[in-house]
Amino acid sequence: MNKSAKLPRELKVKPIKNGTVIDHISANRALNVLKILGLPNDKSKVTIAMNVLSSQMKNKDIVKIENRELDPQEVDKIALIAPNATINIIRDYDIVEKGKVQLMDEINDILKCPNPNCITNTSEPVNSKFYVINKKAIILRCYFCDRIIDEKSIEFRI
């Protein structure tokens, strides 16, 4: 058998024509990023790479979404679980916009309060709300019950 012919080919993620590439997502968080973006859906083609080697971090995830440009609010949400992520907006194979995610001061709706006795964990019609107290090492405070949570205890609502 000819060895050289059978060398495994490197898996390459095809460049996309139009859409968004989210790079440098903290390893194994890609699926959470998709959840924040309401993906997958019928309209968008999504490519995911998880736990790939990065020069900057040990391991990272990458998400490519065709034909969708993220709005600032979506970017803000991503910041919460992937604080080092970069957002590249692609038009006609060119990066037209490149930026790092930024954490907002207030996070509404998307998180679950870890305090089981918090009013947000009842059947009341109430959305969760957290204040961002520290952006470097993520620390949040529940607006309702004052519970302090760190990155490890971040839990998303369904």
Partner 1 sequence: MTFSQKNIISIKDFSKKDIKYILRVAERMEPIARSKETSNLLYGKILGMLFYEPSTRTKLSFETGMKRLGGNVIGFTEAAGSSMTKGENLADTARMVGEYADSIVIRHEMEGAARYVSDLVDVPVINAGDGAGQHPTQTLLDLYTIKRIFGKIKNLNIALIGDLKYGRTVHSLAYALALFNVKMSFVSPKELKMPDEIVHDLNKIDVVARETENIHDVLDKVDVLYVTRIQKERFPDPEEYQKIKGAYLINSELLKGTDLIVMHPLPRVDEIAYDVDSTPNSKYFEQAFYGVPVRMALLKSII
Task: Give the nearer residue to partner 1 in terms of CB position, either 82 or 118.
Answer: 118
Cα separations in angstroms, 95 against 16, 43, 50, 148: 10, 22, 22, 38
Total count of residues recorded for the chain: 158
Q: Per CB under 8 A, which of residues 68..127 are in contact with partner 1? A: 115, 117-120, 122-126
Shortest Å, Cβ 146 to Zn ion: 7
> Which region, judged by CB under 5 A, interacts with Zn ion, from 4-12, 55-63, 84-92, 134-142?
134-142
Binding string, 126-145, against partner 1, x = CB under 8 A?
x---------------xxxx
Distance CA 106, CA 85 (A): 19
When CB distances are held under 5 to 8 angstroms depending on the partner's kind, the choice from Zn ion, partner 1, none that residue 117 binds is partner 1
Q: CB-wise, 102 or 108, nearer to partner 1?
A: 108
In whole angstroms, the minimum distance from the beta carbon of 37 to partner 1 comes to: 28
Taking residue 58's Cβ as centre, other Cβ atoms within 10 Å add up to 8
Q: 25 in the Ramachandran plot: left (φ > 0), alpha (ψ -120 to 50) or beta? A: beta
On the question of a cis peptide bond just before residue 114, with omega within 30 degrees of 0, the verdict is no
Binding site partner of 8, from partner 1, Zn ion, none, Cβ cut-off 5-8 A by kind? none
Strand 106-108: give its sheet, edge to edge.
Answer: 106-108, 129-134, 139-142, 148-150
110, 115, 131, 141: residue in contact with Zn ion (rule CB under 5 A): 115
The 8-class DSSP code of residue 93 comes to T
Using CB under 5 A, list all residues that contact Zn ion: 113, 115, 118, 142, 144-145, 147
Using CB under 8 A, list all residues that contact partner 1: 115, 117-120, 122-126, 142-148
